[in-house]
């Protein structure tokens, strides 16, 4: 049996929960949270090789992480039980993970950290029936271990365990765990530098060029080994956008935006830059005001590029929530959420400084027959979604020290 334990430390607040994360219960470090993140990044890595063949991606993903009976591809000999994962994930060596409620400050505009984590603070009121208590989080600097193990006798020629390690590397270095992980929450870092299955866990130098090279080398090792293990040549999806998030240089760009002294500074600086940038887009705000107030058709809402739903509120004016809707327009055709194509993460370097990374997936924003709409019972008109990701690109380009990770 192949087995490895990776000791991790929280770099930014880690928001985890059970079935009811708003119940006031402390965060739970549970394997499903990590398996879910690993699945996502493994799908992206597979898509970067397989292309837009979703059925093939699902089949290959199932060989590493298992597949439910609904998936169909993993059934064996007529069984409807699906296929279990050959790799186990468990949590160990957990120190006292004391938690606390996330409380936002009262200053206006909100500090960058509160802007990034806005949905996790206490909100609403009991009188109106929409009260939401604050989410609890694990503080920075706490440690625990994630143990990956093959469930069966280790076969040196099998790749499943190795690919699980790759998925874990991607989840830790390019993403995060738990709520708001696309906005720098739940960033983790290995406590010590170690090489596992050919990839290095642990960022050394905090020089921006060194961080870029570290990410480039390990991403290329992962992509090349997956190609060799599966006997496949890369098959780019074709077209301007991929159907889903894929780790392929044609459809996924990665940057190191800046190096900061500590995680608190990184959260507040990056969050403030994002808040101020979006607030400066007054033309977009004026157009949306027309749409909300007099139902005047506009071209699109560019800020929806950052994800849906998008809430607009105007002082002494209208408010509304922008979602998407399929052309049929029925209640069941609402698309309430479109996750942001932009991932922001914090990497802690060997000297304690923080490198902030940005990952931009150029995937199809909405189904082809979907339009932006206002979430309302009234028959508001629909408008086309943004044609590209120019607004996100403009924000990334506002960081003067940014460097792109040009992987192959």
Would you kindly state where each structural domain of the chain is located, as residue ranges? 3-404
**Burial category of 28 from C-beta neighbours within 10 Å (exposed 0-12, middle 13-18, buried 19 and up):** middle
**Residue 76: per-residue pLDDT:** 39
Give the mean model confidence (pLDDT) for residues 145-160.
81
Query: Highest mean pLDDT range out of 64-68, 93-97, 188-192?
Result: 188-192
- In three-state secondary structure terms, 99 is strand
Average pLDDT for residues 342-360, to the nearest whole number? 97
Per-residue confidence (pLDDT) for residue 155, from 0 to 100: 62
| Res. 111: pLDDT tops 50 | yes
Residue 395: pLDDT above 90? yes
User: Among 5-19, 35-49, 184-198, whose mean pLDDT is lowest?
Assistant: 5-19
H/E stretch holding 310 reads strand 310-313
**3-state secondary structure (DSSP) of residue 276:** helix
pLDDT surpassing 60 at residue 177: yes
**Model confidence over 70-94: pLDDT tens digits?**
544 444 333 334 568 999 999 998 7
Give pLDDT, residue 79. 35
Tell me which DSSP letter residue 198 carries.
T
Mean pLDDT taken over the chain: 89
Q: What mean pLDDT comes out for the span 272-278?
A: 94
Q: What is the mean pLDDT of residues 231-251?
A: 85
Q: What is the 3-state secondary structure (H, E, C) of 256-267?
A: EEEEECCHHHHH
Least confident of 190-204, 222-236, 249-263, 385-399: 222-236
CA distance 20 to 75: 32
Q: What is the pLDDT of residue 81?
A: 45
| 8 A C-beta contact, residue 359 and residue 184 | no
| Confidence at residue 70, expressed as pLDDT on a 0 to 100 scale | 52
The fraction of the chain above a pLDDT of 70, given in percent, is 90
Question: DSSP label at 202?
Answer: S
Instruction: For residue 374, give both structure tokens.
Output: 């206002």
CA 273 to chain centre: 19
Least reliable range by pLDDT among 164-173, 245-254, 346-355, 380-389: 380-389
Task: Give 284-342 pLDDT, tens digit per residue.
Answer: 888 999 898 888 889 999 999 999 999 988 888 888 899 999 876 555 688 999 999 99
């Amino acid at each position: 049996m192949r087995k490895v334990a990776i000791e991790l430390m929280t770099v930014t607040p880690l928001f985890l929960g059970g079935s009811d994360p708003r119940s006031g219960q402390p965060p739970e470090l549970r394997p499903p949270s990590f398996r879910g993140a690993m699945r996502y990044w493994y799908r992206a890595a597979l898509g970067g090789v397989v292309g837009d063949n979703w059925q093939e991606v699902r089949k290959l993903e199932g060989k590493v992480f298992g597949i439910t009976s609904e998936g169909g591809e993993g059934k064996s000999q007529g069984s409807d039980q699906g296929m279990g994962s050959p790799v186990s994930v468990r949590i160990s060596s957990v120190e006292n993970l004391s938690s606390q409620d996330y409380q936002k400050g009262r200053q206006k505009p909100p500090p960058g950290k509160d802007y990034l984590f806005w949905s996790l603070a206490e909100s609403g009121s009991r009188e109106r029936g929409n009260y939401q208590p604050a989410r609890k989080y694990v503080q920075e600097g706490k440690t625990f271990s994630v143990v990956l193990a093959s469930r069966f006798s280790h076969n040196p020629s099998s790749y499943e365990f190795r690919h699980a390690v790759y998925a874990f590397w991607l989840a830790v270095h390019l993403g995060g765990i738990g709520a708001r992980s696309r906005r720098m929450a739940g960033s983790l870092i290995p406590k010590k530098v170690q090489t596992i299955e050919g990839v290095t866990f642990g960022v050394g130098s905090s020089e921006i060029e060194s961080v870029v090279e570290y990410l480039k080398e390990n991403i290329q090792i992962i992509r090349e080994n997956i190609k060799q293990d599966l006997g496949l040549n890369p098959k780019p999806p074709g077209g301007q956008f991929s159907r889903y998030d894929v780790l392929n240089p044609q459809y996924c760009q990665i940057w190191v935006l800046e190096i900061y002294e500590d995680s608190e500074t990184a959260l507040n600086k990056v969050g403030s830059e994002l808040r101020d940038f979006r607030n400066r887009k007054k033309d977009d705000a004026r157009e949306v005001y027309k749409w909300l107030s007099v139902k005047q058709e506009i071209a699109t809402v560019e800020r929806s590029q950052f994800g849906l739903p998008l809430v607009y509120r105007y002082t002494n004016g209208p408010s509304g929530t922008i979602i998407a809707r399929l052309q049929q327009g029925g209640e069941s055709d609402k698309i309430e959420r479109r996750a942001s194509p932009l991932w922001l993460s914090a990497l802690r370097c060997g000297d304690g400084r923080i490198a902030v990374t940005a990952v931009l997936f150029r995937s199809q924003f909405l189904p082809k027959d979907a339009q932006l709409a206002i979430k309302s019972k009234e028959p508001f008109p629909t408008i086309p979604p943004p044609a590209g990701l120019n607004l996100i690109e403009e924000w990334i380009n506002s960081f003067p020290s940014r460097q792109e990770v040009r992987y192959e």
